C-alpha cells in the first residue's frame, strides 16, 4: 500500500485564534514495506503530517493518497482506510479505557463485529507479540500496569487490527531503556512481516538504529528525504532543522578527531564496540587514548 503526499499544505484555522500554517508544500512517496522516520524540531509539523496519513486531518490544499485513493475524495471510505493505516498517538496509554487489557485490545475488533472466537485468537496472538503474556496480563486492569506495559498494551490495540501501514508518534518517549528495546523489537518484527512503518521521533539514536529512510521537516517544509547515512553527513540540514547527530556517531567522531581511525557510520553501541575493538587489534596503543566520560549534553 503506497502512500503519496503531494504539495500538502495545512493551516490551522479557528474563529478564535490566529491562523497557523503547519505544513507548507510537503511532497513525498512511501512505498509498501519501507521503514521511515520523520524528524524535526518541536512544532515543525511532524504530528500534523502523520495525522494526514489516515485522513484524520484534511489537507488545506494538496493531496494525500493511500493505496491509490485520494483521502480528500468524499467517495473514499475513510473507515476502511483507518483499518489499513493504524495510527498510534503520543502517549497512547492515556487512551486505555477498558476494564481489562484484553477488552481494551479487543475494542477495535469488536466494533468491526468480528466473531467472538476470532477476536479472542487475535487478541492472544497480539498480546504475545508485544510481550505481554495473555494469561498474566489479559485480565489486568490497564491502570495497574507499569508505563512500559501500558504502552505495549496500547500498541497491541492498534496492531490487533493488522494495519498495512503502522504510523507512530514518538513511540518510545518516556519509556525506560528496556521498554525502548521492546518497542523497537516490536516495530522491527512488524516491519519484517512486510508492513510499512512510519514513526516520528526526537531520539536520533533510535532513528539511526531503526529507520532506512528519514524525512526531515523544518518550519512545515520537507528539507531532506533520503537515507540516514546521508543525513548524518549533512551537517547543514541537521543544523537548519535543529537536530543532533546520534550519540554513538558523535562519540565515534570524537575518536576520529583524536586520531583513532574508526568508522563513523555505526549506529548501535554493539556495532561501535566491535569497531573500536577492531581498531585496537590493529594498534593496541589506541587503548590509552584519553576519553572524557562526559560529552556535554548541550552540543
The distance from CA 156 to its chain's CA centroid, rounded to whole angstroms, is 15
Q: Look up residue 35 and give its three cell numbers.
A: 521503514
The distance from CA 222 to its chain's CA centroid, rounded to whole angstroms, is 17
Q: Does 43 bind another protein (CB under 8 A)?
A: yes
Pick between residue 14 and residue 194 the one whose CB is nearest to another protein. 14
x/- contact string, 168-207, with another protein (CB under 8 A)?
A: -xx--xxxxxxxx---------------------x--x--
d(CA 251, CA 72) in angstroms, rounded, equals 46
Beta carbons of 260 and 278 less than 8 angstroms apart = no
Pick between residue 9 and residue 91 the one whose CB is nearest to another protein. 91
Q: How many other C-beta atoms can be found within 10 angstroms of the C-beta atom of residue 283?
A: 10
Nearest to 217 by CA among 20, 26, 52, 6: 26
Q: Does 34 bind another protein (CB under 8 A)?
A: no
x/- contact string, 252-291, with another protein (CB under 8 A)?
A: -----------------x--xx--xx--x-----xxxxxx
**Number of amino acids touching another protein (CB under 8 A):** 57
- Name the E strands within 13-164: 20-30, 35-40, 61-66, 69-70, 85-88
Interacting residues with another protein between 89 and 118 (CB under 8 A) = 90-91, 94
- Cβ 75 to another protein shortest distance, Å: 31
Contact pick of 149, 157, 158, 213 for another protein (by CB under 8 A):
149
x/- contact string, 128-147, with another protein (CB under 8 A)?
A: -----------------xxx
d(CA 171, CA 46) in angstroms, rounded, equals 13
Q: Does 13 bind another protein (CB under 8 A)?
A: no
d(CA 2, CA 149) in angstroms, rounded, equals 32
- Cβ 39 to another protein shortest distance, Å: 9
d(CA 122, CA 297) in angstroms, rounded, equals 44
Q: Where along the sequence are the contacts to another protein (CB under 8 A)? A: 12, 14, 16-18, 20, 40-44, 46-47, 90-91, 94, 145-149, 169-170, 173-180, 202, 205, 242-244, 247-248, 251, 269, 272-273, 276-277, 280, 286-295, 297-298
Amino acid at each position: 500500500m503506497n502512500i503519496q503526499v503531494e504539495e500538502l499544505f495545512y493551516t490551522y484555522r479557528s474563529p478564535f485564534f490566529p491562523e497557523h500554517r503547519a505544513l507548507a508544500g510537503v511532497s513525498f512517496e512511501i512505498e509498501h514495506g519501507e521503514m521511515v522516520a520523520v524528524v524535526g524540531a518541536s512544532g515543525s509539523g511532524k504530528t500534523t503530517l502523520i495525522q494526514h496519513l489516515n485522513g484524520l486531518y484534511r489537507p488545506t490544499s494538496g493531496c494525500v493518497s493511500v493505496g491509490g485513493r485520494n483521502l480528500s475524495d468524499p467517495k473514499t471510505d475513510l473507515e476502511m482506510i483507518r483499518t489499513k493505516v493504524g495510527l498510534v498517538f503520543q502517549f497512547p496509554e492515556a487512551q486505555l479505557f477498558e476494564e481489562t487489557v484484553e477488552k481494551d485490545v479487543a475494542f477495535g475488533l469488536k466494533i468491526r463485529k468480528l466473531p467472538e472466537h476470532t477476536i479472542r485468537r487475535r487478541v492472544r496472538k497480539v498480546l504475545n507479540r508485544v510481550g505481554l503474556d495473555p494469561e498474566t496480563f489479559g485480565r489486568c486492569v490497564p491502570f495497574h500496569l507499569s508505563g512500559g506495559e501500558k504502552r505495549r498494551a496500547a500498541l497491541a490495540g492498534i496492531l490487533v487490527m493488522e494495519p498495512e501501514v503502522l504510523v507512530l508518534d514518538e513511540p518510545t518517549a518516556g519509556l525506560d531503556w528496556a521498554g525502548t528495546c521492546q518497542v523497537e523489537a516490536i516495530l522491527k518484527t512488524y516491519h519484517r512481516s512486510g508492513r510499512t512503518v512510519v514513526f516520528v521521533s526526537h531520539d536520533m539514536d533510535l532513528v539511526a538504529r531503526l529507520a532506512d529512510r528519514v524525512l526531515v521537516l523544518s518550519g512545515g517544509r520537507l528539507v531532506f528525504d533520503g537515507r540516514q547515512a546521508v543525513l548524518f553527513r549533512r551537517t547543514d540540514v541537521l543544523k537548519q532543522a535543529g537536530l543532533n547527530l546520534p550519540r554513538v556517531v558523535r562519540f565515534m567522531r570524537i575518536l576520529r578527531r583524536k586520531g583513532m581511525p574508526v568508522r563513523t557510520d555505526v549506529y548501535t553501541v554493539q556495532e561501535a564496540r566491535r569497531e573500536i575493538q577492531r581498531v585496537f587489534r590493529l594498534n593496541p596503543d589506541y587503548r590509552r587514548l584519553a576519553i572524557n566520560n562526559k560529552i556535554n549534553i548541550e552540543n
